[in-house]
């Protein structure tokens, strides 16, 4: 049974609790990170904590631990769970307070570290590729809730996920307010065209993914041209290859979009290459 770290103490899963008055529950007021553990080592913890603390600062939430203390807490929780390969959910809530939106009426932000297993997609989809659709639910406008904030309110993504499920798929492309491709409900998106790797830029309304950055680094090291550029659905439809990246998903090919086959309709050469390179990277 997982052991959950809450504010410096470890609890059995059944005993890990927060107040029903916590604004993280009442209003989705808080931030989080999803992080992977490979061979007992936390993957790119520094980058994840950088994004966590930036998200918190952006929503005026003071995390009651230094980054060094947080890193130690994460490592300690991984060891306490004896987890060699797994998933970390690091959550910071605003804390318990009165009913009403005012964050000044809350106290004691909750720091929660969960270490458990995660399976984003079945193995057959990693072998054969994923079918996705375009959702009608658009990505949050950057002037509403900035998509670079990894907040506890994921309803925007969940609504798009529901569209995917109702279409018989497991993932959906989300467009931004300009009708451009942003990302999927839980993953960043890449296309391969004429030997070049292309992906939407941060200002398209995406979460600047840690796995996204790792894959771009791997591609550059392999001599693959990488370009952040505006993409439309047309670019997706005519791509030679499409794949998704994410902490939970890692690297997975897309072989059909909105009923249209991508390239040969099978995972492409560059996608397979970068997936293999990523698997090597996380085991180093």
Active site annotation includes 9: no
Handedness of CA 199, 204, 210, 213 (dihedral sign): positive
Cβ(185)–Cβ(135) under 8 Å? Answer: yes
Quickly count: other Cβ atoms within 10 Å of residue 175's Cβ.
Answer: 22
Catalytic residue among 150, 161, 193, 256: 150
Determine how many CB atoms are found less than 10 A away from the CB of residue 22.
21
Provide Rg for the chain, Cα atoms. Answer: 19
Helix (H) or strand (E) run with residue 95 in it: none
The span from the CA of 150 to the CA of 56, in Å, is: 9
Encoded tokens for 136 = 């009608």
Cα 203 to Cα 146: distance, rounded to the nearest angstrom: 10
User: For tokens 């639910």, what's the residue?
Assistant: 137
| Tokens standing for residue 123 | 């193995």
Neighbour count for residue 8 (Cβ, 10 Å): 11
The closest of 59, 47, 62, 71 to 208, measured between CA atoms, is 47
Residues 6+ apart with CB under 8 A from 259: none
CA distance 267 to 149: 31
Point out the residues that are catalytic: 150
């Amino acid at each position: 049974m997982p052991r959950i770290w809450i504010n410096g103490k470890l609890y059995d899963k059944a005993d890990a609790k927060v107040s029903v008055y916590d604004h993280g529950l009442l209003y989705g007021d808080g931030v989080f990170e999803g992080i992977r553990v490979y061979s007992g080592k936390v993957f790119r913890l520094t980058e994840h904590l950088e994004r966590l603390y930036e998200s918190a600062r952006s929503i005026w939430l003071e995390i009651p631990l230094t980054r060094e203390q947080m890193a130690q807490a994460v490592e300690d929780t991984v060891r306490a769970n004896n987890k060699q390969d797994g998933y970390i959910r690091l959550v910071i809530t605003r804390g318990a307070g009165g009913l009403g939106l005012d964050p000044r009426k809350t106290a004691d932000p909750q720091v929660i570290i969960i270490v458990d297993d995660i399976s984003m997609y079945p193995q057959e989809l990693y072998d054969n590729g994923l079918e996705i659709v375009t959702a009608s639910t658009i990505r949050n406008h950057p002037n509403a809730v900035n998509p670079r904030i990894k907040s506890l309110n994921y309803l925007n993504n969940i609504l798009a996920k529901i569209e995917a499920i109702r279409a018989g798929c497991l993932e959906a492309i989300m467009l931004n307010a300009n009708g451009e491709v942003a990302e999927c409900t839980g993953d960043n998106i890449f296309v391969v065209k004429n030997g070049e790797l292309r992906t939407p830029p941060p200002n398209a309304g995406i979460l600047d993914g840690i796995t996204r950055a790792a894959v771009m680094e791997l591609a550059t090291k392999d001599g693959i041209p990488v370009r952040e550029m505006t993409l439309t659905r047309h670019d997706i439809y005519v791509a030679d290859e499409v794949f998704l990246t994410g902490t939970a998903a890692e690297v997975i090919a897309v072989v059909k979009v909105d009923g249209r086959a991508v390239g040969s309709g099978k995972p492409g050469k560059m996608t397979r290459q970068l997936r293999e390179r990523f698997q090597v990277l996380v085991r180093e």
